[in-house]
Structure 1
């Protein structure tokens, strides 16, 4: 699919989760309908902007830790979303210039801006696959992935703010297991996931806003989140609220404001 085709396929008749996330981050790649929906969410949960920023910050920290401390040189980032600098490959390549990153997303708007994700260092490599998380074999069998990543060497699977858009009926646990089964020992799994644990009533209202606009959402408890890491060795501090996972400085936001479970695990 070409970028011109992607532009024609963009649906502006209803809000889209990736464009709403772009709005929360203060980006410009969204439409009025996304901004209105985002403002509706903020009316229920004013800390949504903090939640989005802390999600992004977790991705940065997890990427740096895996590159510096665990020798990871390859990433598969699914549910990439609209590019927001620094993108994952920029963070990884700032630590290890030869890092290779494959991005995958099913959103035509992300495809439209995919060239932003292709600006690799000369030593490294980035590529983009227009594919859906719910079809893992399509991602794993994509020629672009095989050309960019060496699946005999450790790969970090990055699933940031994705899985709460995958209800249990779609088999998220099995999909994550399928993806990780394809990766060798020493590979990593990094996930951030919205949770209702700190304010169930507010999150019930927030979920209703998304569902009423046509976006499936299932936020999960700490125990439900931890299930994604069964059989993996969790890096310290284990399952943590996003801003408490190896913070760079003083923690200022509350757990309820962030409302994200995060963790990084290593495949034995």
Structure 2
């Protein structure tokens, strides 16, 4: 018999994960909504409230009075229900904000007794941000050096790698810079937008950076191979995807093509 999915889980001393019922190739097990609250606080902060699903919304509301909603980026699987909680909504994108100012890089504020620092993280989308909780600790083992936890949205996932949304302003150059910023944060607890939590943000961010650099080299090699072929083949997104991501399932072919698109744009900018 299949083990029932645990929808609500206390992942750290300050963060409870509420798993949205929207699993899929791009969302993994579903969107991770986080409910933040310091011990003794009646109010809560909701990060990435997720899709408009009545049962998911009720699970969130069962954890406390919603004082503030924060979103990591504009994708609907993170934001669709944001305005439904009768609370201010803050995001980097002003069009997503409700009765509140847009988030600013390195801004620090307190809500529901939780200290929250905004880290601009463009790359997955232009408006992506992460949230550092410097006072957070693991329920099982205290943080190694008091770095806290980082809510990463889709910038870093709990498994696999993320897709850069060029249509949403995501660029590889921005993403590589963001990964280096996250590596420098140190061993924070990783609280991703999809997938399971991680013990060390910097280790995962470094693995992501290595992966991106490897894929970029493969794309560059594919471009050279196509350009040097006889008869010459046009260097298209489809042709490069066939060479670099030929083994990916059809269900994520579109994601592979999106990744190639931003990598080709990065190479063109670098050579300009």
**Which TM-score tier does this pair reach, normalised by the shorter chain?**
0.3 to 0.5
TM, length-normalised to structure 1: 0.35
TM, length-normalised to structure 2: 0.34
For the pair shown, the structure with the greater C-alpha radius of gyration is 2
More helix by share: 1
Task: Select the structure with the greater relative contact order (CA < 8 A; seq sep ≥ 6).
Answer: 1
